[in-house]
Amino acid sequence: MGVARHPSGRATPIYLSSSAGFSSTVLYCTTLYCTKCYRLRLVYCQCVYTSQQVPTGAAAVMLSSDQGDTSSSDIDAALSPPAKRRKQIRVWVDGCFDIIHYGHANAMRQAKKLGDYLVVGVHSDAEITKNKGPPVMKEQERYKLVRAIKWVDEVVEDAPYCCTLESLDQYNCDFCAHGDDISSTSDGTDAYHIVKKAGRYKEYKRTAGVSTTDLVGRMLLMTKGHFGVKTDSSEDQTVHSPYTTGVRFLATSKKIVQFQEGMVNEPGPDDTIVYVPGAFDLFHVGHVDLLEKCKELGTFIIVGLHNDWEVNRYKGKNFPIKNLQERVLSLLACRYVSDVIIDAPYSISAKLLDQFKVDYVVHGSTSIFPALDGSDPYQVAKDRGIYRKVESGSSITTDIIVQRVIQNRQSYNRRNSTKEQREVLIHKEEMKRRQSENTDGATPT
């Protein structure tokens, strides 16, 4: 049995082995990547061309371009009756996803690994205000941001704050997944008590070192401690929540590899390569709109991410709000990003353009800040005629998000304080319960 690409380039012919009972039959089927693992995907036949009549109910094996030959066992599995195929496991995750960050993305990554298809419910502004206080990002902004996360298959708008069995059933989800932290309603009730009691709940590990509460706090404090400046915290005697504050995030090679799941290692010979440099701080809907426009211009999008000190040079104040490692992970989680150059040079050189075979260099609608020597950092790209100014169509910027927080300083301070106090109380009760269980279960001496 052999596998080769159809001359049109639009389809992959599958030569069925004699063991499958269809010797010499050729099925030409559209190449398709698995959205979960980017390996083989078995689906019903989606024939584009056929050299002979296709047997009724036959299935085809879809190949990624680098998968190689398909074994006859793959063909046999594809041709097996639908009843013998494994049921698709659908996972439900819900949340506010306000000022979306790599912790949110990692939650979705872990939840997706628990099943095959990830449905994400996003709470409305009204639901969040009722249970936590006003969100920073508007609901339509949050819906679009969640859709941009590459592990998300479906988004449900205006999901109830307290997860219900009705929601799971309506969207055919087997269970709800949530981190091992605590989420409660305005009256302190566990937001997942219903699905837990029904046995339709699974947990994954919460990502330490970041939260929306923490990011809001960084904007309100206007300090630079989040990107490495030493600060004196010896006088801070406040008891903090273990879920929203704690150890500063440190990126590891393992975490970066995990976030690279599903990304193509290298561009192909037919790819159009677009390079878009910037800070991409507080990854927001404006960034998503820009990257979508880049995707219209090319097929392989490389983001050049500036380091913290460079961003602070041209942005000032306490920018960037997220440090370099945090910004890297946020971009790697975006479905429109093909690769990220970490600590990219501010001035775009001919060497960079040649090394990455860049076809277009893109800049958004913001003004261009000069390089240290006063030169235009895009001059080489402009001289080559590959510079493109792209209007994202979005009015949202990092500065606008910060201004929203500052203008509502009292509301967010009160919201953060109330949330943290509630989490500290719940955490203490949980520790007491576990200690009591350990004491009761101890073997008497």
pLDDT of residue 6: 35
CA 358 to chain centroid, in Å, comes to 25
- In angstroms, the Cα distances linking 90 to 43, 153, 169, 191, 259 are 17, 10, 11, 20, 21
What is the chain's length?
A: 445
- pLDDT per residue rounded down to tens, the chain (445 residues): 333 333 333 344 444 433 333 333 344 343 343 444 433 333 333 333 333 333 333 333 333 333 444 444 444 554 455 555 578 999 999 999 998 888 899 999 999 999 999 999 999 999 999 888 889 999 999 999 999 999 999 999 999 999 999 999 999 999 999 988 767 666 667 889 999 999 999 999 887 767 777 888 788 776 555 545 444 433 343 444 444 444 455 667 888 888 888 777 789 999 999 999 999 999 999 999 999 999 999 999 999 999 999 999 999 988 999 999 999 999 999 999 999 999 999 999 999 999 999 999 999 989 999 999 999 999 999 999 999 999 999 999 999 999 898 888 777 666 656 656 655 665 566 667 667 767 765 555 4
pLDDT of residue 422: 59
Q: Which amino acid is at 111?
A: A
- In angstroms, the Cα distances linking 287 to 9, 144, 391, 397, 422 are 33, 11, 11, 8, 34
CB-CB neighbours of 184 under 10 Å:
20
Of 217, 219, 213, 394, nearest in space to 319 by CA: 219
Q: Residues of 241-277 as b/e, b for ≥16 C-beta within 10 angstroms?
A: bebbbeeebebeeebeeebebeebeebeeebebbbbb
pTM, whole model, 2 decimals?
0.71
Residues 6+ apart with CB under 8 A from 112: 36, 91, 118, 151
Task: Report d(CA 36, CA 28) in Å as an integer.
Answer: 23
Phi, psi of 202 (to 5 degrees): -135, 155
First to last CA, the chain: 69
Strand, helix or coil at 269? Answer: coil
Task: Report d(CA 243, CA 245) in Å as an integer.
Answer: 6
Residue 3 burial by CB count (10 A; 0-12/13-18/19+): exposed, middle or buried?
A: middle
Angle at which helices 285-297 and 139-147 pack, to 10 degrees? Answer: 40
DSSP structure string for 84-117:
GSPPPPEEEEEE---S--HHHHHHHHHHHHTSSE
